């Protein structure tokens, strides 16, 4: 009987550990801002990129510090590639809010097509956002390359 009770307790405990808290509306808004920034990046939409970023955003990529202007300069050549396409999948690990500051960590997988070549790239990223006029905007994005095929 003790073994049976321990077995059911273990199953119950495993279920509780794997259960995730539902996201608050604020956490959902933070994640949506991040997703929309990546949507703008995928379509080379510089206005959209600026809409979901602060004016002084910093991108920490490949050991370098990029501004919004650096990111846009890197996007311009992509706009000229006829078959350029980028799709992103974000898997959020955590999203935390403290008043008007939020930070989120996620796994990003991007499938990037250009010149008939498809690259699959995976990153682990953390962003810091601030709330400006009731909208979450990315202030810092730190990226760590996990895998590139």
Q: Is 42 helix (H, G, I), strand (E, B) or coil?
A: helix
**What six digits make up the tokens of 104?**
């989120």
Architecture of domain 23-148: Roll (3.10)
How many whole angstroms separate alpha carbon 29 and alpha carbon 5? 42
DSSP 45-57: -HHHHHHTEEEEE
Q: Convert 70-135 into a string of H (helix), E (strand) and C (coil).
A: HHHHHHHHHHCCCCCEEEEEEEEEEEEEECCEEEEEEEEEEEEEECCEEEEEEEEEEEEEEEECCE
pLDDT confidence of residue 79: 76
Rounded Cα distance, 40 and 38, in Å: 5
According to the model, what pLDDT value does residue 7 have? 52
pLDDT given for residue 21 in this prediction:
75
Tokens of residue 140, six digits = 């810092």
Q: Which two tokens stand for residue 14?
A: 């495993």
Q: What are the residues whose beta carbons fall under 8 Å from the beta carbon of 89, sequence distance 6 or more? A: 108, 109, 110
Give the pLDDT of residue 15: 47
Residues contacting residue 128 through CB under 8 Å, at least 6 positions apart = 101, 102, 103, 138, 139, 140
- Write out residues in the chain with pLDDT < 50, as ranges: 4, 6, 8, 10-19
């Amino acid at each position: 009987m003790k073994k049976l009770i321990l077995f059911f307790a273990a199953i119950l405990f495993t279920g509780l550990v794997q259960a995730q808290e539902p996201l608050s509306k604020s956490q959902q808004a933070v994640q949506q801002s991040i997703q929309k920034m990546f949507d703008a990046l995928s379509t080379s939409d510089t206005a959209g990129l600026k809409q979901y970023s602060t004016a002084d955003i910093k991108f920490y990529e490949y050991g370098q510090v990029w501004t919004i202007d650096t990111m846009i300069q890197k996007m311009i050549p992509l706009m000229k590639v006829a078959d350029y396409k980028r799709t992103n999948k974000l898997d959020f690990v955590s999203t935390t809010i403290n008043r008007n500051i939020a930070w989120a960590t996620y796994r990003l997988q991007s499938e990037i097509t250009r010149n008939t070549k498809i690259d699959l790239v995976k990153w682990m990223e953390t962003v810091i956002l601030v709330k400006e006029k009731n909208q979450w905007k990315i202030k810092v994005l730190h990226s760590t390359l996990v895998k590139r095929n």
